[in-house]
Structure formats: structure tokens, C-alpha cells
Structure 1
Amino acid sequence: MNMLVNTLDHRWISLTLRQAWITAMAAPKVHLSTHPPEPVIPSKKPFKVELVGGKRYSWCACGHSKKQPFCDGAHKTKAQGLMPLRFIPEKDCTVWLCGCKYTNNPPYCDGTHKQDFIVSAPLHEQTDS
């Protein structure tokens, strides 16, 4: 009796594992990542803008906005995981906002666009979709 149970258990385990393996092999591949998406480069130069003190701004961090350097919500469909940087200047001022999206001092330009990895990178072309 013990031998019959062991044989049946072995077959059940074997079929169960084989079925799970076949299902896993047939399942569509899913790319899981804990890293946020990388921004695209809409401009290799900063944007000179006049800011109004006390007004809230949303700087585009993904590079997909058609209203650069500000957010138009494109990240919701084109760069999920990247969010705009919201900020409120204390007073009226003229500033240079980053256009390459790789600044270490967002939203302000810090000269990163002059580095080789930005200079040699292709510009992102906006599409209507």
C-alpha cells in the first residue's frame, strides 16, 4: 500500500510541476523593474523663463511634455513612474530651467547638458500620439 501511494504521489508531483513549467513557458514575458523609467531629452539647452513669486509650477521631469519645460501630463501615458517636480518660487525671478532632464539640481540647470552623455545622445522627437 505504501508503495502505491508513493508511486501515485510521485506521478502527481511530476505532473503538477511539469504543468506549472509548461504554463510558465507559454505565459507572455513581463518586464518587471524597480527602476523608474529614464527621462527622454527634449532639449540640450536650458529654458530661460520668467517665474512669478508665489505661483505653483510643474517642471516636466520625463521630457515628453509638449509644453517644455513645464508638464502637460504626458508622463501619465508615456513615462509612468516619473512625476513632474512641483515648486513655488518665493519671488519674481528669471531662471534657467533644465531642458535635458538630467540636472542634479532640478528643476534648475546645472550644466549637465554639456556632458558627453547628453551631447552625444539623440534628441527626443515629439509625436502627435
Structure 2
Amino acid sequence: MSEEKKYEPIGVELEEGKRYAWCSCSHSGDQPFCDGSHRAADTDKVSMGFEAEESGTKYLCTCKQTSNPPYCDGTHNSL
């Protein structure tokens, strides 16, 4: 991933009512979802579980600085 695109949100298809685990530590190899890598990393971050409110393509944050986790709020543009 190039430096300029490093923090771009990832569009994913979510299913209404389904639960997901968003990675909040940046160590997951399955971004933007948690794969448990935070357990082996030296971090106090944990995954954030959330339920999709509606089905469709949603853009999940990868910079981990969003004020609306797990969804991208554009913060990556100022990093």
C-alpha cells in the first residue's frame, strides 16, 4: 500500500443485523476487521464489535483516528 493511500477507508459489504469486529489497533492482516493480532502485539487496543444497522457498502476506517468508529469520517485526510 502506498504511503498516500495508507489510511484510505476500506469499502466493505455489511449485512443488516450481522455483528462484525473492527480492528482498532492496525495490526490485523484482515483490515478493516480484527483477526486477533492485538493479542500478540504490544498494545492495549482491542477489537470493537458492532452490528450493521443496514445492508450495503460501508467505508470502515483504517487510520484508527475516526470520531465515529468503525466508520470513516475523513480524518485520514488530515494525517
Q: What TM-score bracket applies, with the shorter chain setting the length?
A: 0.7 to 0.9
Tell me what 2:74 maps to: 111
- In the alignment, which residue of structure 1 is the partner of 2:29? 66
Normalized per residue, which structure has more helix?
A: 1
**Does the aligned pair in 1 maintain the 2:23–2:31 contact within 8 Å?**
yes
For the 8 Å contact 2:25–2:43, the answer to whether it is kept is: no
SS of equivalent to 2:40: helix
Q: Give unmatched runs, 5+ long, in structure 2.
A: 1-5
Question: Alignment RMSD, CA only?
Answer: 1.1
- Fraction of identical pairs, as percent: 50
1:69 CA drift (Å): 0.2
Deviation of the 1:94 alpha carbon: 1.3
Moved over 2 A (4+): none
The answer to whether the 8 A contact 1:69-1:99 is kept is yes
Query: What does residue range 1-129 of structure 1 map to in structure 2 within 5 Å?
Result: 43-115=6-78, 118=79
Unaligned runs of 5+ in 1: 1-42, 119-129
Between the two proteins, the alignment pairs up a number of residues equal to 74
Higher strand share: 2
- Point out which structure has higher relative CO (alpha carbons under 8 A, 6+ apart): 2
Looking at CA atoms only, which structure, 1 or 2, has the larger radius of gyration? 1
Q: Given residue 54 of structure 1, which amino acid in structure 2 is its aligned partner?
A: G
